[in-house]
Copies of this chain bind each other. A is one copy, B any other.
Amino acid sequence: MPQRGKRATIREVAKATGLSPAAVSYALRGVQTSEETQERVRRAAAELGYEAHPIARALASGRSGMVGLLCGSLEDYWQQSLAVGIGRALLARDRYALILDAAGDPEREIALARQLRDQRVDGLIVQPLDPAAPFWAELAEALPVVSIGDSLRGGHAQGEVVFDNRRGVTLALEHLHGLGHRRIAVLTPTRASTPDRPADVHVHAEAERLGIEASVITAPQGLAEATELARALLRAPDRPSAVFCFSDSIAYGVYAATRELGLDIPGDISVAGYDNYPMSSLLSPPLTTVDWDIDNIVHAAVRVVLGAIDEKPYRRRTVTAPTLEVRASTGPP
């Protein structure tokens, strides 16, 4: 046990001030002590270079000050942005985010969730790969759990921030319809890579309402695969006049395919995306896409998890509404 850098303990501060360790503990947290004593303690602590030992504190108090953040796959830029935002928001509230990455594997996701519980994080924010896993219910009994994107099975979670995907679909389809598109291909990711989009159903409903002929196609994971799919789609004689991609990453595949085939966006084909990846505005042409207010999602999730931890009231369910970021990749057919 290498003991580099011995640090002052609370006992030494107690000795220095002539108080009991308990009094020092209280004073440092500003409870149950007079202003004067607090000041005296703070001074002595500063002089001795005392800093509370978070691990000892965690053991004694039963709270670690850490919130787990379990991401489905951090390859995803959108999830990266979310993780960065949550990390900052927690830091601003004097807590740490312990970020774990399931790398797209639902089994690993559960294993990591278990590790996080054993690690005694105070709460957990999860963007579940598999919202139906039975383990979530068990987990939510041990600590506050907040899900982002999907409701967890059984509704045992302490909170959730969900997306109004129906609205997202409506925004995109109405936009394309308004431009005059009537034959649209909808490319959706496979289940494993992205939270469920029950909105698929909604696509058909909205298409019918608007009088659009929509064909829904599942795109395999990976840029190369998406490109290949798009290539086939664009080569077909009866190619649609617009493509609505249920994830910006799929749209990137479409871009690649159009470049190969020498087609122009939006001249030959309009492309709309979903999720507004940070680089989507940099493409040429910049991608029209459905945008979520990440800050809002971050703060809702953090508020809920901290509320549950501190046993203060909070809103259990937040539904985020998207907006459509209209850029240059869509135009009249």
A32 in contact (CB, < 8 A): no
The docked-state distance in angstroms from the alpha carbon of A156 to that of B149 is 45
The docked-state distance in angstroms from the alpha carbon of A141 to that of B61 is 29
Cβ B98 vs Cβ A54 within 8 A: no
In chain B, what residue has the closest Cβ to A74?
Answer: B84
CB-CB < 8 A to A91: which residues of B? 100-101, 112
Cβ B62 vs Cβ A87 within 8 A: no
CB-CB < 8 A to A77: which residues of B? 77, 278-279
The docked-state distance in angstroms from the alpha carbon of A278 to that of B252 is 12
Cβ B51 vs Cβ A118 within 8 A: yes
**Interface-lining segment among A1-9, A128-136, A162-170, A190-198:** A1-9
CB-CB < 8 A to A118: which residues of B? 51-54
Cβ A282 vs Cβ B311 within 8 A: no
A46 in contact (CB, < 8 A): no
> A36-75 interface mask toward B, CB cutoff 8 Å, 1 = contact, 0 = none?
0000000000000001111110110110100000000011
A255 in contact (CB, < 8 A): yes
Cβ A59 vs Cβ B59 within 8 A: yes
The docked-state distance in angstroms from the alpha carbon of A255 to that of B285 is 11
CB-CB < 8 A to A278: which residues of B? 77, 279
The docked-state distance in angstroms from the alpha carbon of A53 to that of B77 is 34
The docked-state distance in angstroms from the alpha carbon of A52 to that of B59 is 13
Nearest CB of chain B from residue A53's CB, rounded to whole Å = 7
A259 in contact (CB, < 8 A): yes
A55, A87, A96: residue with the most chain B Cβ atoms closer than 10 Å: A55
Cβ A55 vs Cβ B59 within 8 A: yes
CB-CB < 8 A to A58: which residues of B? 55
Cβ A62 vs Cβ B3 within 8 A: yes
A143 in contact (CB, < 8 A): yes
> A1-28 interface mask toward B, CB cutoff 8 Å, 1 = contact, 0 = none?
1111100000000000000000000000
CB-CB < 8 A to A221: which residues of B? none
Nearest CB of chain B from residue A187's CB, rounded to whole Å = 17
Cβ B88 vs Cβ A84 within 8 A: no
A-B contact pairs, 6 of them (CB 8 A): A3-B62, A4-B143, A55-B120, A77-B279, A91-B101, A255-B284
A residues near B (Cβ < 8 Å) are 1-5, 51-56, 58-59, 61-62, 64, 74-75, 77, 80, 84, 87-88, 91, 96-101, 103, 112, 118-120, 141-143, 252, 255-256, 259, 278-279, 282-284, 311
Closest 5 CB pairs of A and B: A279-B279, A5-B142, A51-B118, A74-B84, A55-B58
